[in-house]
Amino acid sequence: KAEPTKLYYHEVHIYKKDGNNWSKIHVLKEHNGQVTGIDWAPESNRIVTCGTDRNAYVWTLKGDAWKPTLVILRINRAARCVKWSPKENKFAVGSGSRLISVCYFEQDNDWWVCKHIKKPIRSTILCLDWHPNNILLAAGSCDFKYCPLIFISKEVEEKPAPTAWGSKMPFGEVMFESTGTSGWAHSVCFSDSGNRVAWASHDSTVAVAEGGKTAVCASLTSETLPLLCVTFITENSLVAAGHDCYPVLFVYDSNKAAMSFGGKLDVPKQSAQKGMTARERFQNLDKKATADSKEAVLESVHKNSISQISILNGGKAQCAKFCTTGMDGGMAIWDVKTLESAMKDLKIV
């Protein structure tokens, strides 16, 4: 099992898991600026990266080394996020140029070509997710107005079957937009069926929209700091995490078109309270002006904001394991069954 990590830097490091240890096996150097987005296509084994140097590279494994192919995105601002489509024949890049570049490989000229989606994007695109039909694309941006926007990006494929989001589909057409939440969108995610889309917004809300004759939108304001990433783990349950450094569960009830908070997924083990010696107490008073023995250390697994959640096993329909990575440079793997049994009252529907 291999994991690529993009650093706040212009290199990509690939780690391979050997039992319980991770070893760095490859370093991908090509970007001139910070790498902002990375996605690994499992079937075709290609990696796409995008960065602040306004470029994207598609990496293919030749022998023992990864070879990059430059993709010209025709943008004049940094690229922000990139995602392979489900069939891995194209990928979408969101950028600060207020447009999405959808890139596909042109066999005749042996290079990657891109098409732009511009309207009605008015600000930087922060996050993208593909619908399972390989055609619809959801995007979240900073413009405080519409989130998420669902676009069609079909160029070379045949006419797709109608989905919950509509049936007439010319390229670049907006199928859905919502003005329900305020604040920039940090993460957007389609459910496994593609009929639902969830997003986390900087005003500490998480929302789900369900497509249909009239799209229904349900949002939940939370009492915590904003969430940075959200993903479906079953058709009704979402796991989200963010600046509070622990993942949480949300449940969407389609009958009531409402969302509810399912529970914190990281309950730290209560460490036994040690008795404090008089010396320690005095030291605390001197150093921290408090006689408390509580240290200013987070008890959660992650010590800094969690920036990404990825499904490891089971897909978005029946996720068995997911992985969180955070700004503390750490990566944690969570097992759904273990969580369900460890926390009473936690039910993943």
Tell me the closest approach of the beta carbon of residue 148 to other proteins, in angstroms.
17
- Select the residue interacting with other proteins from 15, 104, 144, 261 (CB under 8 A): 144
Residue 74 DSSP label: -
* Contact code string over 167-206 relative to other proteins, x by CB under 8 A: ---------------xx------------------xxxx-
Sequence letter at residue 19: G
Q: Shortest distance, CB of residue 247 to other proteins, whole angstroms?
A: 16
Q: Which stretch, 2-10, 43-51, 208-216, 220-228, contacts other proteins (CB under 8 A)? A: 220-228
Out of 225, 317, 333, 349, point to the residue binding other proteins (CB under 8 A).
Answer: 225
* Rg of the chain on CA atoms, in Å: 22
**Contact pick of 133, 222, 234, 300 for other proteins (by CB under 8 A):** 222
74 or 145, CB closer to other proteins?
Answer: 145
Q: Is 224 in the site for other proteins (CB under 8 A)?
A: yes
The nearest distance, CB 19 to other proteins, in angstroms, is: 40
Q: Which of residues 99-138 bind other proteins (CB under 8 A)?
A: 122-123
Asked if 226 is part of the footprint of other proteins (rule: CB under 8 A), the reply reads yes
Six-digit token string for 89: 């024949």
Task: Looking at the chain, list the stretches that DSSP marks H as alpha helix, in order from N- to C-terminal side.
Answer: 278-288, 336-342
Smaller CB separation from other proteins, 90 or 98 = 98
Using CA atoms, how far apart are residues 87 and 62, in angstroms rounded to an integer? 21
Please, what is the minimum distance in Å from the beta carbon of residue 121 to other proteins?
11
Handedness of CA 303, 40, 91, 320 (dihedral sign): negative
For residue 203, the minimal CB distance to other proteins (Å) is 4
User: How would DSSP label each residue in 308-340?
Assistant: EEEEEESTTTS--EEEEEETTS-EEEEEHHHHH
Alpha helix (H) residue ranges in 163-268: none
For the CB of residue 123, give the shortest distance to other proteins in the complex, in Å.
7
Contacts of 270 (CB under 8 A, 6+ apart): none
Residue with tokens 């789900």: 208
How many residues touch other proteins under the rule CB under 8 A: the total is 17
Whole-angstrom distance, CA of residue 341 vs CA of residue 265 = 11
The answer to whether 82 touches 38, Cβ cutoff 8 Å, is: yes
Count of CA atoms in the C-beta half-sphere (13 A) of 123: 14
Q: Which residues bind other proteins (CB under 8 A)?
A: 98, 122-123, 144-145, 182-183, 202-205, 221-226
